[in-house]
Copies of this chain bind each other. A is one copy, B any other.
């Protein structure tokens, strides 16, 4: 009798216990990381990656020199900002980088000059319809300087002269990112990618790195893994492009499913952004878990992508990478403003994302093809899986398992079968184990 492959780790029922408290922990990490002034490059990114490496010891931090070519892009100069402020004629600081790192346009060129309010205006960024929010503005690839401020404050500025000071420098340094490989029983990989380039904002972005770190620690704790896991922490866009350019063949060869973790900390709901392939293993697993564990989630097509899936799924890479999020970037009012702070995310919100991603991982780990060993329905009664007394309606409770068997033909994987029969795949794992033990079903290659 052919038996299940014992090294596969298949048909283990999902155990949520090891994830208890992950949300609280992740929230504490986010609180630590919040004040750091991250950007595409610079000390803030290094500080952040160093913190993450303490959580995930296998994490490797990499540096790429400014000016390095990466596909159509060039690694920008490093940016280091010492201080930035705007003072009025009376020396009163109207805006101060020391209060919030959102106050200075990202990658601002240095300036130290006096201007009239009128001359200053083109350098000020505020949001009239959100007067209390400081917007997040950057100018990575065009030299500019500017201040971001609450519109409420901006309206208090009176005509007069202002002293604009930004002590920053751009220089040939490095761009940093980090990755780690958790080996599994096969060389096939699951990619988890998140980004570290935004200053003090919580849902976008800190929820991404801390949820990824929590998942990484859980993966490290597993007694065995079918897949090899690749975790990536890199600045958005340019970091992902650099990462792709340095690992393209490896990624195309090995990655079976990937996910961009972003905006995974609030409590409002769940959403999903399809990969370019739209029906890849990653998409199928994500949609299946969301449908059964976060019904009502919002599904976005690849046309509404927004983060590093843009790079991973680009035609020349075309990796099976989708994204599962809480409220996605651009669809909540606090997005890219100072209002996206630690009050917007919560331990429960982070825990929810950790749980969903862990279930997706678990489904991938156990997503096998099974086939029944013999034609005909098996005699489930003798396994205690079917009532031995036949009366009207008595077969109803065994229906999910019988439907599983009806489609266990060795060509459909667990996700396909569970989608076909309309049940949660994770809920079938225990009974499938019983069927495997009894030799009713066997795993097939494919």
Closest CB-CB distance, A322 to chain B, in whole Å? 14
CB distance from A265 to the nearest CB of B (A): 19
Interface of A: prevailing SS: loop
Q: Which of A208-250 contact B (CB under 8 A)?
A: 237, 240-241, 244-245, 248
Are A72 and B316 CB-contacts (below 8 A) given A388-B141, A392-B330?
A: no
**CB–CB B371/A315 < 8 A:** yes
- Is B317 a contact of A375 with CB atoms below 8 Å? yes
Question: Quick one: which of A117-142 are within 8 Å of B by CB?
Answer: 125, 127, 135-142
Q: Is A390 an interface residue (CB 8 A)?
A: yes
Chain A, residues 300-317, CB within 8 Å of chain B (1/0): the string is: 001101000011011111
Give which listed residue, B137, B311, B314, B392, contacts A390 with CB less than 8 A: B137
Q: How many copies does the complex hold?
A: 3
CB pair A407–B376 under 8 Å, yes or no, is: no
Once the chains are docked, how many angstroms separate the CA of A72 from the CA of B305?
50
Tell me whether B144 and A389 are in contact (CB under 8 A): yes
What B residues does A422 contact at CB under 8 A? 303
Chain B residues whose CB sits within 8 angstroms of the CB of A378 once the complex forms: 71-72
User: Is A410's beta carbon under 8 Å from chain B?
Assistant: yes
> Does A24 count as interface, using CB distance less than 8 angstroms?
no
Cβ of A403 within 8 Å of any chain B Cβ, yes or no, is yes
Size bracket of the A interface: 35 or more
Kindly name the residue among A337, A376, A403 whose own CB sees the greatest number of chain B CB atoms within 10 A. Answer: A376
Inter-subunit contact B311/A376 (CB<8 Å)? yes
Is A364 interfacial (CB 8 A cutoff)?
Answer: no
- A374 contact set on B, CB distance < 8 A: 71-72, 316
| Cβ-defined contact, B375 with A316, below 8 A | yes
B316, A71: Cβ atoms under 8 Å?
no
CB closest residue in chain B, given A392: B336
Known contacts A140-B390, A440-B72; decide if A315 and B408 are in contact (CB<8 Å).
yes
- Residues A399-420 near B (CB distance < 8 A): 402-403, 405-410, 420
- Are B388 and A142 in contact (CB-based, < 8 A)? yes
Given A375-B71, A376-B73, A376-B241, is A125 in contact with B391 using a C-beta cutoff of 8 Å? yes
Residue interface mask A313-352, B partner, CB < 8 A = 1: 1111110000000000010000111000000000000000
- Return the CB mask of A60-75 against B: 1 if under 8 Å, else 0: 0000000000111100
* A228 CB, min distance to chain B CBs, angstroms: 22
Q: Is the CB of A310 within 8 A of B375?
A: no
Check A310/B381 contact, CB under 8 A, given A371-B315, A372-B316, A406-B315: no
CA separation between A393 and B331, bound complex, in Å? 11
Distance A338 CA – B412 CA, assembled complex (angstroms): 42
B142 and A389 form a contact (CB under 8 A):
yes
**Residues in B whose Cβ lies below 8 Å from that of A313:** 406
In A358-391, which residues have CB < 8 Å from any B CB?
Answer: 371-372, 374-379, 381-382, 388-391
A421 within 8 A of B: yes
Residues in B with CB closer than 8 Å to A372 are: 314-316
Asked if A276 is an interface residue, CB under 8 A from chain B, the answer is yes
Q: In the complex, A340→B139 CA distance in Å? A: 64
Taking a contact as CB atoms closer than 8 A, the residue among B314, B330, B408 that contacts A377 in the complex is: B314
**Contact in complex: B135, A375 (CB < 8 Å):** no
Contacts of A391 in B (CB 8 A): 125, 135-137, 336
Question: Among B314, B336, B390, which residue has its beta carbon within 8 angstroms of that of A376?
Answer: B314
Query: Other CB < 8 Å A-B pairs besides A72-B440, A241-B377, A336-B392, 14 of them?
Result: A72-B374, A138-B389, A140-B390, A142-B389, A244-B376, A276-B407, A303-B403, A313-B406, A314-B377, A315-B371, A315-B406, A315-B410, A316-B376, A330-B392
What are 21 inter-chain pairs, A to B, with CB distance below 8 A? A71-B376, A72-B379, A106-B390, A136-B392, A139-B388, A139-B389, A142-B388, A144-B389, A241-B376, A248-B375, A276-B406, A303-B420, A303-B422, A314-B375, A315-B372, A315-B375, A315-B407, A317-B376, A330-B393, A335-B392, A336-B392
Q: Which 5 A-B pairs have the closest CB atoms?
A: A316-B375, A142-B388, A315-B409, A71-B374, A72-B378
